Structure 1
Amino acid sequence: MTTIRPRRSVLYMPGANERALEKARTLPADAVILDLEDAVAPDAKEQARERVCAAAASGAYGRREVTIRVNAVDTEWHDADLHAAAQAGPDAVVVPKVGSAREVHELERALELHGAPERTAIWAMVETPAAMLRAEEIAGASERLTVLVMGTNDLAKELHAEFVPGRAPLLGGLSLCLLAARATGKAILDGVYNDVSDLAGFEAECVQGRQFGFDGKTLIHPSQLEPCNRVFAPSAEEVARSRQIIEAFEQAKAEGRGVATVHGRMIENLHVDNARRILALADAIESAGE
């Protein structure tokens, strides 16, 4: 099985705020997005770029996956952001409003041109109706693209949709992107929850995201880390059940049977594959020190 990297919690940190960048070194996030886009005012873009790239290159974030969100391709800051990010060599460059395979290919060529190390991946934000309809094309465009990031705020804006519990207006787009990610073997992250004071609502949306199949969720505040990490991690019960499934199936194979039962339920290969994935994720989380 492919090595699993936990991405339960992926926290946006404002690139213009030096204290926030330092605080991110101590927070229990699986990954951080050092943000040059929405969190930075136009007159602070250049200073934030220098600060973020220095932070990403510092090696001070330990086990955390460190990414840089650049400004979108149609902005005056994009080219300079991409060049600086490539030189800094983060784990990934997060690109807003990716809308086609052609754009992915251009990003890939630009990173190579600017000298980005091979380990620096592309995380594509899909946040428009056009991107939803081209999600498989985008996800499959490059091996360097490893993660799709849902931009649910922009999607709701483009759809003229309301933010309601359960996110019914967005479910079609979320499902299309999940299908695209799984069809192409890429990870996928759920969008942000805007009300940082509503932790009950946030946790409910985490549960929904996990039930859908997301690998984790993007966050806007450190208070969201604990429930997010807990919801997107396998529970002790899931780990124990997964071990039982694997043991029962191996025993059945040894006895020449193709199926097994656990607590009265029939177990087949697909259940074993899922059990192995759950145990691999639990092991990866434990190895990361959570």
Structure 2
Amino acid sequence: MKPIRSMLFVPGSKENWFNKIPQYDSDTIILDLEDSVPNNLKEKARKSVAQVISPLVSENQRIYVRINRGPYGFDIEDLEAIIQPELEGIVLPKLNGPEDVDTLSSIVSEIEHKKNIKIGTTKFIATLETARSIYLAYEIGIKDRVVALAGVSPANGDVARSVGYQWTKEGLERIYIRSHVVLAARAAEIIPIGGLWQDVHDLRGLKEAATINRQLGFAGEMIVHPSNVPVINKVYSPSEQEIARYKKMIETFETALSEGAGAVLFEGEHIDYAHVNTARQMLKFADSFKETS
């Protein structure tokens, strides 16, 4: 799975926004059929989203669609409309547990079969918005189609209502929840995604919150406004200074190896294979975005 720093929501009912999507420079786009679409526009949005997926992918956009969920399951009409070879995956809202992923996977497999799409092509990003789904994050994360866990925790949202915490900007009340999602995703060897920052014009606040999320171990964030994309991409990318330091670290270590040492002091710090492996991983991560830019 390619890395993801930014996932920008675009309402499926805002057709006049679709042509602007390539300008946003978001790593992935989530065409939304759920909460950002009024009920009376759901059917129209579904048709519009289904038609725009292929043209956007032809412009090198990675596309996910957030589908609707009803009282008994996920919206079958959404699935039948949007599943196509060009679609990277589906964002699953309001999961209750791993059994939801199993049920949806069977339905998606049937649709893929009918459309002559290779079974398993359509990936899932599981949004953990209930206390039970957060508790069972790892069990959800190890399901075959799941490529990322989204541990979003906005003010007064579904997670706050389900867990019962009182949201603060500092976020101490959400540290355990976010760290739990990160640990579950990393253990399942998939991507941990954070967010959502709601005060979209407070870019300083966004940067501060995203920096903390990155420090916790998140790999990227879901966002709701195009102005947030460059902030998130920068926070979740190694800086030029970091890249230069990683390169110098590797060079120093390789020199030490050639002289028969398996560990060495680098800028006053002890480094060995573990540190150099991290440096190489971060350089590879940085290069992955240069290749697609």
Judge same fold: TM > 0.5, yes or no. Answer: yes
State the distance in 2 between where 1:210 and 1:62 align. Answer: 29
State the distance in 2 between where 1:56 and 1:211 align. Answer: 34
User: What RMSD over aligned residues (CA atoms) do the two structures have, in Å?
Assistant: 1.8
1:260-275 equivalences in 2 (<5 Å): 260-275=264-279
Is the counterpart of residue 100 in structure 1 residue 90 in structure 2? Answer: no
1:142-153 equivalences in 2 (<5 Å): 142=144, 144-152=145-153, 153=157
Q: Which amino acid aligns with 2:139?
A: E
State the distance in 2 between where 1:98 and 1:84 align. Answer: 21
Moved more, 263-272 or 11-20: 263-272
Change (3 A) 1:121 1:59: same
Aligned match of 1:140: 142
Is the counterpart of residue 176 in structure 1 residue 177 in structure 2? Answer: no
Is the counterpart of residue 202 in structure 1 residue 206 in structure 2? Answer: yes
Aligned match of 1:44: 41
**TM-score, structure 1 as length reference:** 0.92
**TM-score, structure 2 as length reference:** 0.91
Work out whether residues 250 and 279 of structure 2, in 8 Å CA contact, stay in contact via their aligned partners in 1: yes
In percent, how many aligned pairs have the same letter?
31
State the distance in 1 between where 2:292 and 2:193 align. Answer: 19
Q: Which amino acid aligns with 1:133?
A: Y
Change (3 A) 1:109 1:95: same
Aligned match of 1:72: 69
Work out whether residues 14 and 21 of structure 1, in 8 Å CA contact, stay in contact via their aligned partners in 2: no
Work out whether residues 85 and 121 of structure 2, in 8 Å CA contact, stay in contact via their aligned partners in 1: no
1:237-248 equivalences in 2 (<5 Å): 237-248=241-252
Q: Which amino acid aligns with 1:229?
A: N
1:1-290 equivalences in 2 (<5 Å): 5-60=2-57, 62-72=59-69, 74=71, 78-87=75-84, 89-115=86-112, 116-117=117-118, 118-142=120-144, 144-152=145-153, 153-289=157-293
Gaps of 5+ in 2: none
| Residue 42 (structure 1) shift | 1.1
CA deviations on 1:115-174 (whole Å, 9 max, x unpaired) are 1544321111111111111011110122x2101112323211222323212211111111
Task: Report how many residues are paired.
Answer: 285
Q: Which amino acid aligns with 2:12?
A: G
Moved more, 56-65 or 252-261: 56-65
Work out whether residues 193 and 219 of structure 2, in 8 Å CA contact, stay in contact via their aligned partners in 1: yes
State the distance in 1 between where 2:67 and 2:247 align. Answer: 42
